[in-house]
Structure 1
Amino acid sequence: MQPRAPVLLASLAAALALVLAACGGPSRPLPEPMSQPVSPAIAPAPPPDPGHAARAAQSRSAAEMHRIEPHAALALPHPYPLPAPEDRERYGTIDENGIRLVAQAPVSTFSIDVDTGSYSNVRRLLNAGRVPPADAVRVEELLNYFPYDYAQPTDGRPFAVHTALAPAPWHPSNVLLRIGIKGKDMASGALPAANLVFLVDVSGSMNTPDKLPLLKSSLKLLVNQLRAQDRITLVTYASGTRVALPPTPGSDKGAIVAAIDQLVAGGSTAGASGIALAYQAAQQSYIAGGINRVLLATDGDFNVGVTDFRQLKSMVEDKRKSGVSLSTLGFGTGNYNEQLMEQLADAGDGAYSYIDNLMEGNKVLVSEISSTLATIARDVKIQVEFNPATVAEYRLIGYENRMLAREDFNNDKVDAGDIGAGHTVTALYELTLAGQRGLVDPQRYQRAAPATGRDGELAHVRLRYKLPAASVSQLLDVTVARQALRPLAQGDDDFRFAAAVAGFGQVLRGGKFTGDWRYADARALAQGARGADRFGYRGEFVKLVDLAQSLATAAPATAQGGAPAGHAAR
């Protein structure tokens, strides 16, 4: 057996040379097949091979390639495209409101919504070169991101209600009914004393520039607005929870800023235990007659403890009974849980905002601090009854997750949205008037609408609300007269701009009800309705419409789970 050892070694060496030569690239000639090796003591030496030198050189070249430094090999062109980072952003499903026949369902009831997070999140996605997923676009939050110049209340109520009518820009034969609410203004210096508990996510998922660093910069902007009577507490959570700053007077700005500077990210995300500790801290510093609020700042990526969406929402619903409300401030990309942020704020009688840059942080925590913190009316519900003699069909644009049953309107135990000082709230209905062709074919057999003597009315709008310390609601109502209908061109800037925003949002969602109306139409309408635009929000919107159109036109595939490709190029 020993004489075979040199033969086996020679065979292994030859096979290794073949492998190394083959690694030199498919364009190189393969060596000829080798015959079964025999003992050199028995077999005669083979004749000289003229290609041997070339093959040996190839083998040496291949061997040298395999000795390249690992990091240099990684720099070589990759034969396949690298996979994109996993996108774990989560959005609640939205079933867009459909057409309702007045003959079958003359009454529409919903809760108001003062959230604005969907708009700034859509802005973030567009600025990143992505068409937003349809469920990321909540049209009511796009509408309510913008302040409107509605008149202040003059009758002692906490807010005023205004209605207006004009043709729908995407269906000129239809009519847009705008319902506008204006909360009573309150200067920041006149706000009640505030007990604010900032619940800050410092888990590892927050360790990117658009998360914890942006959050810290935004909080520092708020510090300059604090007064001596205000109290600030910082509670942090990651793998565990702790009080990073005990209740501190707003006048001690140095201590507050120092505590903010010390926040660092790391660990898992025990959000539920953080919420419990934040409410406990708020109760310990409770200010009777003041503002008592927890502000949760996170990307929503809870992964330790209670993580179930329904359990977290139920937990916050129970905590709001203590008199402490909860608002949410969303940050970040990639793993952002938008559904959780929006629904927790709703359950906590607060507002949801998404902060994608420092300007937005300034808007939420400085420019609009009064409406962010001070509640002037609670559980505000809107109910609209349409006149079957004058209106055939209607459709509420947006507010899909704010719909209420008809009987909920008079039930003071049913929760609804709150209005902050100076808030404006806008809702739009698209109406098909009687005698006009609608989207639903008329029934062959139906009763004629009874004569009511109110043929000049299109609708009756009723609102219920509670004063902040009250448990019984009050009623306010407004009649919408047909004679108020004006051409769209004669509508005020606020009406036309709101129509442009609503149209844009619908097109961004796929344009199910907007026909051939396009981004260019939304842009033209918004551009002509910018008005004074003190903060530049409307001008920025026009640029976002341009960006959405460019993204959709350039490559419908850019949608990345966004609007259907058939609508992307609108």
Structure 2
Amino acid sequence: MVCRDPRHPTREISVKRTSVGGLLGVMVLGTVLTACGVTPQVPVSSIRPGSSENLVGYPAAPSVAPAPAARSAGTSFPASEIARSPGRFDTASPNGFVPVTEAPVSTFSADVDTASYAVVRRLLNEGHPIPYPVLRVEEMVNYFHYDYPRPESPAAPFRPTVAVYPSPWTEGARILHIGIRAYDVARKQRPALNLVFLVDVSGSMAPGDRLPLLKQALLMLVDDLRPDDHVAIVSYAANSGVVLEPTAGTDKETIRAAIQGLTAGGLTAGDGGIQAAYALAERNFDKAAVNRVVIGTDGDFNVGIVDPKSLETLIAGKRETGVYLSVLGVGLGNLNDVVMQRLAQAGNGNAAYIDGMQEAKKVLRDELSSTMVPVADNVKFQVEFNPALVGQYRLIGYETRALRREDFNDDRVDAGDVGAGHAVTALYEFLPPGAKGKGVDPLRYEASHKASHKARTTKDAANADEFGFLRLRYTLPGQSQSRLIERPIRKREALASVEAAPAEARFALAVASFAGKLRSAGGGETMSYAQIADLARGARGGDPDGTRAEFIRLVELAGSRAAR
């Protein structure tokens, strides 16, 4: 048996099967279980959002480590950076500039996950270094609500909005801001929920910021169940089992009792729990409801199927059942974000990280419809840039969501799903033709390359005022045929300054700049923390939930630590 010491995430403890009797055996077993994470549980009442006193299993750090030198696009993250990670994260490098003459079309999947921002917030608040694999720009940007134009009908669930303005990162460059807001469903009008809670109760889930916090979050969700909602619970550790058969929302006490009875102990066979949860969801499938499995875990699968790719294949096979997936990540140290992201992306799902009850409230109460109720499946973006006006471009973030050009029109290719009222934002930075290269050497045969495009440029003279063309493809839930939204990105729409851009565009730029500053690459690294905070402060707006004010505080906190 091999397990991790939660106080020292990089330390593994090997335990051989021996015959130990009497008091000595009890003492050895107790020591091993403690090392594996089966510690006395922290009383739920003692968990205070944002308080590091209640977070077991992650050592305190005195300050944020200084950022390393900026890396160029395409380089891998050093092993030393990955080793400092509070868990296992994908190591995709930031997108670099792409010459339009070589690749005029950029295609990617929508991403509504928000886990990266919540992990970064926790690390900053606790004074820990922020490893660069943790930073996914699109998840940080899409964490926030944006007041984009509201769609009027669920039959046309999106209204794209576009802004073009000068880039504060690169001289002579512009930012292309693309935003969509999904059709919203009023709480009273949302469809019934048919949920299966799949709860990790392995030994690594014992600390107070894991199973006890997750139980509190699920209890909060139970409070908002309607009579026509149904909940079932499956738990998994070394084995999996049904804790609660589907129970109506009218019987909240039975559901609460089942949640409160969950305790942690043992290894983690996640594949068995996934199979059991989907079997239960399929057996009780309701065509009139939203059918969804909600996984609560630190992602630390260590027996059964443990390879992320194999788990992804397992989940992908369940996609055709019509059952959606949500992943709620908890804990640090052995947090397996790679597994959680793979599960969410493969299972028509979304992923969030719960670092306290305030975040639980945001995900499971304030944004219940956007978390649980899908309004569009397989949402894909595609931008074709005009080589007459754009020389190079780079997509900010979405490194793990890239699609091939031909994937856009192929409805068999899975992409992100968007929930009711959710906003999705994407940013590009682009340079005009002839601008000094950004990590891209000029073509030796560029003259002939330009000549090959001359005929098309002449033919498309009527479109000479377009920076590019935006396409958005999606499928309505329950349907198989995709739908298309198209919109030109016109030169006359370009604004003269960042200050002239809409507040929503400026705030998204501030968040992207902060992510780039923290990882010293990908945009924003040339700005100071003070400049980023000022940009966000000027675009804060009404901020009814206080998340933008919190962001400004985090930027100032990072700046003060970097100055030490």
Q: Normalised by the shorter chain, which TM-score bucket?
A: 0.7 to 0.9
| Distance in 2 of aligned mates of 1:86 and 1:131 | 8
Paired residue type of 2:116: S
Q: CA deviation at 1:83?
A: 12
Task: Find 1:472's aligned residue among 477, 481, 505.
Answer: 481
- Equivalent position to 2:521, from 511, 516, 528: 511
Distance 1:86 1:382, change over 3 A: closer
Q: Distance in 1 between matches of 2:86 and 2:164?
A: 42
Q: In 2, distance between residues paired with 1:370 and 1:105?
A: 38
Amino acid at match of 2:474: Y
- Deviation per CA, 1:357-391: give whole Å up to 9, x if none: 00000000000000111111111111100001111
Matched residue of 1:132: which SS? coil
**Contact 1:193/1:287 (CA < 8 Å) preserved in 2?**
no
C-alpha contact 2:94 2:521 (8 A) present in aligned 1: no
The answer to whether the 8 Å contact 1:320/1:326 transfers is no
Identity level (%): 49
CA distance in 1, matches of 2:227, 2:234: 20
Q: Which runs of 5+ in 1 are unaligned?
A: 1-81, 555-570
Residue 408 of structure 1 deviates from its aligned partner by: 0.7
Alpha-carbon distance in 1 for matches of 2:171, 2:198: 48
- Counterpart of 1:303 in structure 2 is 302
Show the counterpart of 1:148. Answer: 146
Provide the aligned C-alpha RMSD in A. 1.8
Matched positions, count: 473
Distance 2:319 2:522 in 1: 38
State the AA in 2 paired with 1:188.
Answer: R
Output the amino acid matched with 1:360: E
Using the TM superposition, give the Cα deviation of residue 89 of structure 1 relative to its aligned residue in structure 2, in angstroms: 1.1
What CA distance in whole angstroms lies between the structure 2 residues aligned with 1:511 and 1:303?
Answer: 34
The residue correspondences of 1:157-176 to structure 2 (distance < 5 A) are 157-176=156-175
Contact 2:507-2:540 at 8 Å conserved across structures? yes
Counterpart position of 2:469 = 460
Between the aligned partners of 1:458 and 1:126, the Cα distance in structure 2 is 38
Q: Give the deviation of 1:514 after TM superposition.
A: 3.9
Deviation at 1:441, TM superposition (A): 5.0
Matched, 1:315 2:314: yes
The CA deviation at 1:306 is 1.4
Over residues 400-430 of structure 1, what are the superposed CA-to-partner deviations in whole Å (9 max), with x where a residue is unaligned? 0110111111111000011111010000000
2:555 maps to: 545
Give, as a single letter, the amino acid of the residue that structure 2 aligns with 1:361. A
Query: Judging changes above 3 Å, is the alpha-carbon distance between structure 1 residues 237 and 86 closer, same or farther for their aligned structure 2 residues?
Result: farther
Q: What secondary structure, in the 3-state scheme, does the structure 1 residue paired with 2:359 have?
A: helix
Q: CA deviation at 1:172?
A: 4.9
Would you say 1:131 and 2:129 are equivalent positions? yes
Check if 1:235 corresponds to 2:234: yes
Q: Deviations over 1:228-287 (max 9, x none)?
A: 111000111112211111110011111111111111111111111011100011112111
1-side partners of 2:191 and 2:181: how far apart?
20
Letter of the structure 1 residue corresponding to residue 150 of structure 2? Q
In structure 2, the CA distance between the partners of 1:253 and 1:512, relative to structure 1 (3 Å rule), is closer
Task: Give the 3 Å change call, closer, same or farther, for CA 86–118 of structure 1 in structure 2.
Answer: closer
Q: Is the 8 A contact 1:87 1:335 kept in 2?
A: no
Opposite residue 117 of structure 2, the aligned amino acid is Y
Given that 2:88 and 2:338 are in contact with CA atoms closer than 8 Å, whether structure 1 keeps it comes out as yes
Give the equivalent residue in structure 2 for 1:111: 109
Measured at CA, do residues 222 and 512 of structure 1 come closer, stay the same or move farther in structure 2, by a change above 3 Å? closer
CA contact (8 A) 1:380 1:465 kept: yes
CA distance in 1 between counterparts of 2:124 and 2:524 reads: 21
Which letter does structure 1 place at the counterpart of 2:528? Answer: R
Structure 2 distance, partners of 1:129, 1:83, is 7
For residues 517 and 60 of structure 2, the distance between their equivalents in structure 1, rounded to whole angstroms, comes to 30
Q: Cα distance, 1:86 vs. partner?
A: 9.2
CA distance 1:509–1:86, change in 2 (3 Å): closer
**Structure 1 pair 88/438, CA: closer, same or farther in 2 (3 Å)?**
closer
Cross-structure match for 1:102? 100
Once the 2 structures are TM-superposed, how far is the Cα of residue 472 of structure 1 from its aligned partner? 1.1
SS of residue paired to 2:469: strand
C-alpha contact 1:194 1:287 (8 A) present in aligned 2 = no
Q: CA deviation at 1:206?
A: 0.7
Judge conservation of contact 1:171–1:514 (CA < 8 Å) in 2. Answer: no
Match in the other structure for 1:45: none
Measure the CA separation in 1 of the matches of 2:326 and 2:173.
Answer: 37
The letter of the residue matching 1:321 is E
Q: Secondary structure at the match of 1:159?
A: coil
User: In the alignment, which residue of structure 1 is the partner of 2:428?
Assistant: 429
Specify every segment of 5 or more residues in structure 2 that has no aligned partner in the other structure, as ranges: 1-58, 62-82
1:344 equivalent in structure 2: 343
Question: For 2:539 and 2:275, how far apart are their aligned partners in 1?
Answer: 46
C-alpha displacement at 1:511, in angstroms? 2.9
How has the CA–CA distance of structure 1 residues 88 and 501 changed in structure 2, closer, same or farther, with 3 Å as cutoff?
Answer: closer
1:371 paired residue number = 370
The alpha-carbon deviation at position 171 of structure 1 amounts to: 2.4
The 8 Å contact of residues 112 and 381 in structure 1, kept in 2 or not, is answered as yes
Distance in 1 of aligned mates of 2:547 and 2:437: 35
- 1:124/1:515 CA distance change after superposition, 3 Å: closer
CA contact (8 A) 2:60 2:128 kept: no
1:530 corresponding residue in structure 2 = 540
Deviation string 1:478-535 (CA, Å, 9 cap, x unpaired) is 1011111112111111111000001111111113544532222211111111110100
Deviation at 1:88, TM superposition (A): 6.3
- Of stretches 274-283 and 540-549 in structure 1, the one that deviates more from structure 2 is 540-549
SS in 2 for 1:311: helix
Of 335-344 and 153-162, the range deviating more from structure 2? 153-162
Change (3 A) 1:297 1:393: same
Matched, 1:121 2:130: no
Deviations 1:58-83 (A, max 9, x none): xxxxxxxxxxxxxxxxxxxxxxxx99
Which whole-Å CA distance do the structure 2 matches of 1:208 and 1:191 have between them?
35
Q: Distance in 1 between matches of 2:442 and 2:506?
A: 31
Aligned to 2:33: none
CA distance in 2, matches of 1:158, 1:520: 38
Q: Paired residue for 2:411?
A: 412
Q: Deviations over 1:137-165 (max 9, x none)?
A: 00000010001000112465011111111
AA of the residue aligned to 2:108: F
Mapped partners of 2:360, 2:94: distance in 1? 30
Question: What SS does the corresponding residue of 1:391 show, helix, strand or coil?
Answer: coil
Q: Distance in 2 between matches of 1:464 and 1:115?
A: 19
For the pair 1:201 / 2:200, whether they are aligned, the reply is yes
> Do the aligned partners of residues 223 and 83 (structure 1) sit closer, same or farther apart at CA in structure 2, a change above 3 Å counting?
closer
1:195-344 alignment to 2 at 5 Å?
195-344=194-343
* Structure 2 partner of 1:397: 396
Contact 2:389 2:467 in 1 (8 A): yes
Alignment-derived partner of residue 40 in structure 2: none
Q: Which amino acid aligns with 1:293?
A: R
* Residues in 1 aligned to 2:523 and 2:189: alpha-carbon distance in whole angstroms: 44
